[in-house]
Amino acid sequence: MNSTTAAELAAAAEAINGYQRRIGRLAATTPGDEADLLTAIYEAERALGVAEKSIRRAVRLASKR
């Protein structure tokens, strides 16, 4: 891999981090009586966190080459 790949991956990780923060803010403003919606929002937030972590690992691996 080259530095372009690492840069593209890093940019994607940053974008996903931004989406995760946006989703987190939505959860904070969703009424507590919307349990199913809150559950779905938290699941999405968690999934985005896992995706970001995976991409950051790929950045580290791409940067080594």
Domain that holds residue 15: 3-64
Look at the chain and report how many structural domains it folds into: 1
What confidence tens digit (pLDDT) does each residue in 12-62 have?
999 999 999 999 999 999 998 999 999 999 999 999 999 999 999 999 999
Cβ(43)–Cβ(24) below 8 Å? no
pLDDT of residue 32: 87
Residue 1 has pLDDT above 80, yes or no: no
pTM of the model as a whole = 0.87
Measured in whole angstroms, how far is the alpha carbon of residue 13 from the centre of its chain?
7
pLDDT of residue 2: 77
Measured in whole angstroms, how far is the alpha carbon of residue 7 from the centre of its chain?
16
